[in-house]
A and B are shown apart, each in its own frame.
Chain A
Amino acid sequence: MEGDVRRVARLPSVIQLTRAMPLFFRHRLAQAGFWVLALIATLSLFGPWLFGNDAFAPDASRMYLPPSAEHLLGTDQLGRDLFLRVLEGGRVSLLTGLAATLLATLFGCFYGIVSGMASGWLDRILMGFLDALISIPVILLVIVSQAFGESSLLKVTLVIALASWMGTARMMRTECRTLMEADFIKAAIAGGASSIRLVFRHLLPNTLAPLVVVVTVGVGQSILLESTLSFLNLGVPATVPSWGNLLGNGMSSVLSGAWWMVLFPGLSIVLTVLAINLIGDGLRDTIDPKHRSQY
């Protein structure tokens, strides 16, 4: 009797996700993105153990060496190995991007769920405030943040999170609005469920699928933003080799012919963000049946 499995219009998120996984790995672009990102992340995270920690050791005898067998990506103006510095930079950029997205997701979820559960005036105020925040340019936010203390990794992370939580909030609000209309939510309320229980038991698990997509793409955006800020010297401290810093640093050297100092950090950023976006697209295509015909 329990074999009578019925198809329901809206599949539960976790099941959506588990069903999407095999499809995801048949999605060629997403698969490519996944392996590229896996390679970059592994190299960045374990680089110092694999290749020694010489990223910070200057050597006057090896300045501006072009890529060679000894120095895969060449050396910089202080004779430091660029390959090691790019790996080190990857660690900083990836972790900053992840941490900022995590913060943005937590806050965005909180804000969006509150707004989506409250109807009427509170929802209107929260969404109006969100609209106002979205219209503030990120660069203004960054310049204002310069007034508060020295630049540090923590500060950059906070600024990026502050600039990027709004999309998550809006998405969560929309999802919760839809879910609040669902019968099982009504049944839960009719059964005496408290708001806390509604959130953790019913709303959050059922918004997991779209959230995964938004978060994935968000990580890419955060890495890009971090690079931009560091390139403009508004990001992580100049002594920390993030990809943006390497890029900014290389800009002055490229005139003297050291093209590798710009090419490789830039390529790392492009490859990483592209890989993450491909994964995001793949997740969206495989989770949301409406997109499935596209590949």
Chain B
Amino acid sequence: MNTQPPLLSVSNLKSGYFTRHGTISAVDGVSFDLRHGHTIGIVGESGSGKSTLALSLLDLLERPGRVVEGEIRFAGKNLRALDEKEWRAVRGRQIGMIFQSPESSFNPLATLGQQMCEALMTHQGLSRASALEKAERALAMVGMPRPKEILKSHAFELSGGMCQRAALGLALSLNPALLLADEPTASLDVLAREEMIGIFKEMQKRLNLSMIIISHDVGMIGKLAERTLVMYAGKIVEAGPTGQVLGTPRHPYTRGLLACQPRLDLEPQPIPAMTGSPPPLDKQITGCRFAPRCRWAGSRCVNDEAFQLRPVLADHHVACVKSEGRDDVF
């Protein structure tokens, strides 16, 4: 087995939004490990807490949001003990992040070159000339045609796909050990999405890049991630190797999520959408949080342990009472 300590180790992380109307526990006790050179995919519908989780990892939650408890160990450091100045050295330099809307993640007033150079000059102390050179190489690496010209343009002069590639290039030019990608393909068209997945794949191979990809694009997760976590109502409901989680899902929520992905290879048919919506997170919920929407819900689901992760296979955990012991319960 691998004896190397994980690159990132999150244990019992809790983040909430403290509003006047109560506390919303958006991330409620999440734990996972990420190994060097591996990619974790986090899937779940809107409001399941995936983005809050990503922002928590970089301490980017804005008021009234805040990390409440838990531990985030990254490369041997306890990130939760850092002050603002130490955080600035981690953000970008050690953990990079790219966002959902690539066009708006660049300052509309500065050229891409200015913004990339600035990041390189502050983080790596490069001169303007060598920063420019490095920025150009970074853009070329993520498959950008004519990087020299691109560096002179503004974000709104580029297409969404090119902006996302530039954002990736900017993030990778700082050689981060870990890259967080929050819905990196959500605003891209099908072709740009394919392209982006290809670039991610190449970067994994070339740079041995560790990534956390947050998405509801199950197809992309399937292609890129070694492990997949499924989140629902602030908790992980299923975690395991991507092939198992997406291939033979054990949690009813994962099944529902997969069932509502449109398929091109099957006869056109109505997509079986899940009924209902995630529960409000400002109240204590006992028992399984998915039970109200679950067609297999039974009397055991109201117990508090019902929503605990439990191993079903060596490396595959599921938070459902029906997954215990047997292979096929549904």
Q: Does A149 contact B (CB under 8 A)?
A: no
- Which residue from chain B places its CB closest to the CB of A10 in the assembled complex? B108
- Say yes or no: A184-B107 contact (C-beta < 8 A), given A189-B91, A190-B58, A192-B122: yes
Contact in complex: B60, A191 (CB < 8 Å):
no
- Whether A184 contacts B157 by the Cβ 8 Å rule is no
Contact A119 B92 (CB under 8 A): no
Binds B, one of A20-28, A39-47, A201-209, A247-255: A201-209
Q: Would A4 and B105 count as touching, CB distance under 8 A?
A: no
Is A186 a contact of B108 with CB atoms below 8 Å? no
Q: Could you tell me if B145 and A1 are in contact, using CB atoms closer than 8 angstroms?
A: yes
Which of A11-19, A70-78, A235-243 lies at the interface with chain B?
A: A11-19
**Chain A hits for B109, CB < 8 A:** 12-15, 205-206
**Contact of A184 with B106 in the complex, beta carbons under 8 Å:** yes
- Selected interface stretch from B93-101, B133-141, B197-205, B308-316: B93-101
User: In the docked arrangement, what's the CA distance between A205 and B171, Å?
Assistant: 23
Option from B99, B105, B156, B171 in Cβ contact (under 8 Å) with A5: B156
Q: How far is the CB of B202 from chain A (nearest CB, A)?
A: 20
Q: Indicate whether B62 reaches chain A with its CB closer than 8 angstroms.
A: yes
Q: B106's closest neighbor in chain A, by CB? A: A184
Query: Which residues does chain A contribute within 8 Å of B110, judged by CB atoms?
Result: 201, 205
Report how far A159 CA is from B48 CA in the complex, Å.
55
Q: Does A188 contact B (CB under 8 A)?
A: yes
Whether A187 contacts B99 in the complex (CB less than 8 A), given A1-B159, A6-B156, A119-B62, comes out as yes
Asked whether any CB of chain B lies closer than 8 Å to the CB of A8, the reply is yes
Residues of A within 8 A of B118 (CB): 197, 201
Residue B73 at the A interface, CB < 8 A? no
Q: Is A194's beta carbon under 8 Å from chain B?
A: yes
* Interface membership of chain A positions 167-187, coded 1 if the CB is closer than 8 angstroms to chain B and 0 otherwise: 000000000000010111011
Q: Is the CB of A191 within 8 A of B157?
A: no
**A150 interface hit (Cβ, 8 Å):** no
Contact of B119 among A10, A119, A191, A202 (CB under 8 A): A191
Total cross-chain contacts (CB, 8 A): 106
The CA-CA distance from A197 to B122 in the complex, in Å, is: 10
Compute how far the CA of A183 lies from the CA of B155 in the bound complex, rounded to whole angstroms. Answer: 13
Q: Chain B contacts of A13 at CB under 8 A? A: 109
* Interface status of B63 (Cβ within 8 A of chain A): yes
Does B26 touch A at the CB level, under 8 Å?
Answer: no
Contact A190 B63 (CB under 8 A): no
Beta-carbon contact of B158 and A201 below 8 Å: no
Asked whether any CB of chain A lies closer than 8 Å to the CB of B89, the reply is yes
Which residue in chain B gives the minimum CB-CB distance to A8? Answer: B156
Is B108 within 8 A of A187, CB to CB?
Answer: no
> Within 8 Å of chain B (Cβ to Cβ): is A289?
no
B71-99 residues with Cβ-Cβ distance < 8 A to A are 87-93, 96-99
Q: A128 contacts the other chain (Cβ, under 8 Å)?
A: no
B105 touches A120 (CB 8 A): no
Cβ distance B306 to chain A, nearest Cβ, rounded Å:
36
List residues of chain A with CB within 8 A of the CB of B62: 119, 180
A102–B62 Cα distance when bound, in Å, is 33
The docked-state distance in angstroms from the alpha carbon of A103 to that of B191 is: 53
How far is it, in angstroms, between the C-alpha of A186 and the C-alpha of B59 when the chains are bound?
12
Residue of B nearest to A180 (CB): B62
For the A-B complex with A190-B92, A190-B99, A191-B171 known, give 8 more contacts whose Cβ atoms are closer than 8 Å: A1-B146, A4-B157, A6-B159, A8-B104, A8-B108, A12-B109, A187-B99, A190-B97
Residues of A within 8 A of B (CB): 1-2, 4-8, 10-15, 119-120, 180, 182-184, 186-194, 197, 201-202, 205-206
- B-side residues, CB < 8 A to A, are 58, 60, 62-63, 87-93, 96-101, 103-110, 118-119, 122-123, 145-146, 149-150, 153-160, 162, 167, 170-171, 174
Q: Please name the 10 residue pairs, one residue from A and one from B, whose CB atoms are nearest each other, closest first.
A: A12-B108, A192-B92, A191-B92, A187-B105, A183-B104, A192-B91, A190-B97, A4-B159, A205-B109, A119-B63
